[in-house]
Chains A and B, each alone.
Chain A
């Protein structure tokens, strides 16, 4: 009898727990996606019957898997896609740069389920795997990107955005430090910031290391790295965790960071703001369709959309990222949207011998990075 009652209790507990989970899941399913805005331009315009066949096949596939390391691929972006192609589910997986390419290397030879489309910042991987990438077959590439210097390998990969990296500041903490100005790279080296500065050193992400290479030049050259190390900056692996500590006040100033990440926290009431450091140095967001895609038609439809005004506005419309296209070519766009300025530095993730030496002998050494 005792065993029976204990068993009953056990079963009841399991049922109650499972029930609570289902109930909670049900309660949470009502969240509405953010309004994504968008473009009236038809991404398939000019594609003809052949392209329509691809779209129909994509709808039958019903899903496209995107691997990305870009902060621009967010809920609003996904909502914009869902609005444009409600019959094709977008499955997004976010990875840090190195993990993403590792995952792709594992997938490409195995014929396994994985990515259909990728947005990465690691150009060396794209160049090394050019034959494993598939050029877009949709009309958007020819229509909007003809003659663009951001199309590589006969269209097998395309720079679809540039991420301008800057600094984040906690306005309350900055006030405690006497409101020192933070508008240039050199401003990061002010002695007041000793112990109050956070940095993402970008170890393992060549594009991020290149960003620091150029940023250090703006700070005053190689000696600036030593002065930066003297400030004993706290290290962070990704901008998101740095932004969290900026919001809490653990650090007063942090670089590099991404406008979208900082703005999202500021919108929730965090006393932080994004500072564009001049001149703007951006990292690339490069998109490609992979040859081992299990949803090849959906991958083509997604890539075509990304290259069309609709996809460009979804990715770059907020102004957090910069579009490589001229705005007039995109028709009606949000007022926040910006193009990559002429002459701006967009790093390519390919470390030159000089940059490699700088990263190893100076950057990692001075900052004691493993």
Chain B
């Protein structure tokens, strides 16, 4: 009697029991922090002073008046926009190039992936040395062509582009990898048909490769954009947000408030805005992915 009950009970409920660990982890590590973040963003919380007061939307109002926040926001947008666009273009060109049968493409492929394998901190430290105006290797090389005195990350005007360049160097391979995988999974039939119909190389790319590759492109862009919006390591090491705040990004600014000044409420509110912004952009891409039909 009892044994029968157990097996019946477990048959009915085992599935719930089995997902308990996962649900627990999800609740503890994702859902609880999210709810806490919403609550914290409506408070002024400072661990140093022990202050914890409900202030409604005061944090958000202050953020909108905060010139440093807007400066960081602008830098983040420029960094993401310029960086991801160039990474995508270069990655696509490389992928197209290396998916055709050229000599030594396996070696090129492996070499191209190496920047991505390095930890961002290492990349930042290496580039900081490469960029030293006086005896860095880039300026030495440019000097051979008569170009002198570029200050790279030390000048207000070139600091952000210099950091974007580091990001491009490190993450173009990622774009390349995903796009290459996409290219290689494309069906061959449309290409054969196009060749029979006498389509030019550009036409093949424009009307066959590009539409077929669109889902992969969207995923690649989405991943890179979400990642770049929270860029931190390289900037923290290379410029600390300077000179004159020219390279301060949102993550850096949030870190400062959260972990240096202990304005937890304010930092959480900013993180929340960054999250909302990221969600909006992602949704835009995901919708694009859903509505676009691959085959007409």
Verify that A and B bind, or say they do not. no
- A residues bordering B, Cβ < 8 Å? none
Write the residues of chain B forming the contact surface with A, with a CB cutoff of 8 angstroms.
Answer: none
